[in-house]
């Protein structure tokens, strides 16, 4: 994750992500058929579901980094946890905005306290809390440990979101999950491209944000060195 070792990997990932996103948009709007009952608004689905999956990826990165930090405290593990939480918030916001916009057409209202919607909202709030905690309490050892514990606990909600539709039913569609009716064959390539695009975006966001957090950690160490060297003033 150090900039020197992966100097080409990040630009390549950026280009690959951009190309995949453009290809996905082209497939969604020009190739995927319009759904018979909902009409064009159903096309939100091709980014809404992959965004939810990308939120899981961010949350898993946060979980992995947090476990790593609790076992062997390091700037790298902490940076991955922090970047994962930021990715989870980003994709969680996309899910929480695009879902209600679809629901406005499909259900006739923006929000309902359906089990999946409620558990998704709770999960996003956990990662918002994590991000705010890190933004306002600094990077002391105690804060980092407390955040790591929150990162581990936050992941506990992920299986609940996933199985909430099956366990407690509710209004949320289960087209591609177990017991669902499935997708029309012509819609599948667009959804697959959506998943690929959001997987690459999730990796890109976690990677780039972790690089920033590592640079911030390097800056903190340099400030300590500067004080030791008698420079006397933090920049």
Partner 1 sequence: MQAPVTATTTQEAQANEFRAVQGGTEIASGSTLLVEAYAVIWVILFGLFFLSWRRQARLEDKIADLERAVGKARRSDGAA
SS (H, E, C) 55-118: HHHHHHHHHHHHHHHHHCCCHHHHHHHHHHHHHHHHHHHHHHHHHHHHHHHHCCCCCCCCHHHH
For the CB of residue 90, give the shortest distance to partner 1 in the complex, in Å: 5
The Cα–Cα gap between 219 and 52 comes to: 34
- 177 vs 208, beta carbon nearer partner 1: 208
- 143 vs 223, beta carbon nearer partner 1: 223
The Cα–Cα gap between 153 and 163 comes to: 17
User: Contact, 102 vs 41, CB < 8 A?
Assistant: yes
Q: What are phi and psi of 39, to 5 degrees?
A: 80, -150
- 85 vs 152, beta carbon nearer partner 1: 85
For the CB of residue 210, give the shortest distance to partner 1 in the complex, in Å: 11
- 98 vs 199, beta carbon nearer partner 1: 98
> Which residues are registered as beta bridge partners of 35?
39
For the CB of residue 211, give the shortest distance to partner 1 in the complex, in Å: 7
For the CB of residue 18, give the shortest distance to partner 1 in the complex, in Å: 11
* Residues lying near partner 1 in the complex (CB under 8 A): 38-41, 43-44, 47-48, 51, 86, 90, 93-94, 97-98, 101-102, 104-105, 107-109, 201, 205, 208-209, 211-212, 215-216, 218-219, 222-223, 225-226, 229-231, 235
């Amino acid at each position: 994750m150090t900039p020197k070792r992966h100097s080409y990997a990040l630009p390549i990932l950026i280009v690959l992500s951009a190309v995949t996103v453009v290809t996905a948009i082209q497939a969604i709007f020009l190739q995927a058929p319009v759904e018979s009952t909902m009409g064009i608004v159903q096309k939100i689905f091709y980014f809404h579901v992959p965004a939810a999956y990308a939120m899981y990826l961010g949350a898993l990165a946060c979980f992995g980094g947090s476990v790593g930090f609790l076992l062997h405290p390091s700037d790298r593990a902490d940076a991955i946890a922090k970047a994962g939480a930021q990715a989870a918030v980003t994709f969680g916001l996309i899910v929480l905005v695009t879902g209600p916009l679809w629901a406005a057409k499909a259900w006739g209202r923006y929000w309902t306290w359906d089990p999946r919607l409620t558990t998704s909202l709770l999960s996003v709030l956990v990662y918002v809390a994590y991000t705010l905690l890190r933004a306002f309490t600094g990077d002391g050892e105690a804060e980092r440990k407390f955040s790591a514990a929150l990162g581990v606990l936050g992941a506990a909600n992920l299986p609940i979101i996933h199985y909430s539709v099956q366990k407690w039913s509710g209004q949320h569609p289960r087209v591609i999950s177990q017991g669902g009716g499935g997708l029309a064959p012509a819609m599948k390539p667009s959804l697959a491209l959506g998943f690929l695009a959001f997987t690459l975006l999730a990796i890109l966001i976690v990677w780039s944000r972790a690089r920033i957090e590592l640079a911030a950690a390097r800056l903190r160490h340099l400030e300590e060195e500067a004080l030791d060297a008698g420079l006397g003033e933090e920049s």
